[in-house]
Amino acid sequence: MSVVIVDKNNVLFSETYGNCGNIDVPFIIGSNSKSFTAASIMQLADQGRIDLDAPISAYLPDAREGDKITARQLLNHTSGIRTYDAYENYTVSSGQGIWMYANVNYALLGLIIEAVSGTSYVDYVKEHFFEPLGMNHTYTSLTEAKGDNLIDGYRNYFGIMVKEEVAYPEQKISGWLSIPAGYIISSASDMGKYLQFYLNDGMGILKPESIRAMFYDNVRVNEDASYGFGWSYLESLSEPIFYHNGLVENYISYMFILPESEIGGVILMNCNDYLVGNALTDSIFKGVLSLLLGEEPQHIGANAYEVTHLILNVIYLVITALCLLPLMFIKRWRKRHMNGSHRVRATIGFALLHILVPTLLLVFPQAAGVPYAVIKAFVPDIYMVLVGNAI
């Protein structure tokens, strides 16, 4: 873990934990990339080159349903594109106008930046943000980041962290993965400079009114939170918070700004443990906010990680045992049921057991509204439990 807290001009706190050597070590920052994309759009809007309320077909003539979507809708996730829609086959749903988080929104914004600027997205953010802000450990290339000691990413399997490198989109869009939506690579030290860019009203790179639009031109997410342009707005604490988090298969991140206290901070971590570790990291994030607001942070038990994973593993074992029972008792079952009057009833029961149970296991993610590819990428141990036991 790498943590940096800044005010307008200074680094107030910096520390690394675990196997992170220093605050210059790069991590993949996930959806915290979205604010860079939003800032780029606003910079082009400042120059009069993008109209946020014009159909995106004005900039992307070949965009699917481009006449129905505006850049503003893409920025605050009200385009009607659904969360797990892929770039190759997204549609505008009846939910247009309602907040619905979708990576494809920001993939399209990245393409708009390229079309309007005449340069690639990766070159644009480097020239207009990374270099002016002195972000010397920030990249849009996995190869370049490795040359600067990119920290290894880890995925969780049943409570054990396993070092794994996963696919990086580079300059192409694949499904709902793209650099503009979630694959910028940066260090805590550089992200501190990036947060100071906001604390200092855009530092001449972006107009102050565009910074305010990114924060306050938002739509309601729930009773406590709203979403602007690449930033969420949380109103439930003693001071309003602008924040965002990021998640890829093997990294997680948080960034935040306290506008009244004029303080910002970032937390980067080189692992993804969707069901347990990420929730604990979320508690750390909230604890940092509590400390900065002069409040008592929620205590995290020393064994919370192990205990929660133990409970999950017991559940997985019970499911596995139930699925293995028919194999263990098949000889007894054949002897008892595959003759005489019980044959038809036993055959029906056998068919139901060996069709219904695997089907229920396999359709569970779809029933929960999550595609199997997402389960496999972000919760690989559950994927193994479901598919293995179905087999």
Place of tokens 């247009």: 96
pLDDT above 70 coverage of the chain, percent:
98
Check if the beta carbon of residue 385 is closer than 8 Å to that of residue 364.
Answer: no
- Calpha distance 297→366 (Å, rounded): 37
Measured CA to CA, the distance from residue 361 to residue 76 in angstroms comes to 35
Q: Read off the pLDDT of residues 92-131 as tens digits, 9 standing for 90 and up.
A: 999 999 999 999 999 999 999 999 999 999 999 999 999 9
103-117 and 33-46 helices cross at what angle (nearest 10)?
A: 40
User: What's the pTM value of the predicted model, to 2 decimals?
Assistant: 0.92
Strand order of the sheet with strand 225-227?
11-16, 2-6, 263-269, 251-258, 241-248, 232-234, 225-227, 219-220
pLDDT of residue 324: 87
- Please tell me the number of Cα atoms within 13 Å of 2 on its side-chain side: 25
Instruction: Look at residue 217 in the predicted model and tell me its pLDDT.
Output: 95
What the block records as the tokens of 106 is: 């920001």
How deeply is 329 buried, as exposed, middle or buried, from its count of CB atoms within 10 A (0-12, 13-18, 19+)? exposed
For residues 363-388, give the mean pLDDT.
89
Write out the H or E segment, with its range, that includes residue 344: helix 343-367
Mean pLDDT over all residues of the chain?
93
267: β partners: 3, 254
What pLDDT does residue 228 have? Answer: 97
Strands 241-248 and 160-163: unpaired
The per-residue pLDDT for range 135-161, each reduced to its tens digit, is: 999 999 999 999 999 999 999 999 999
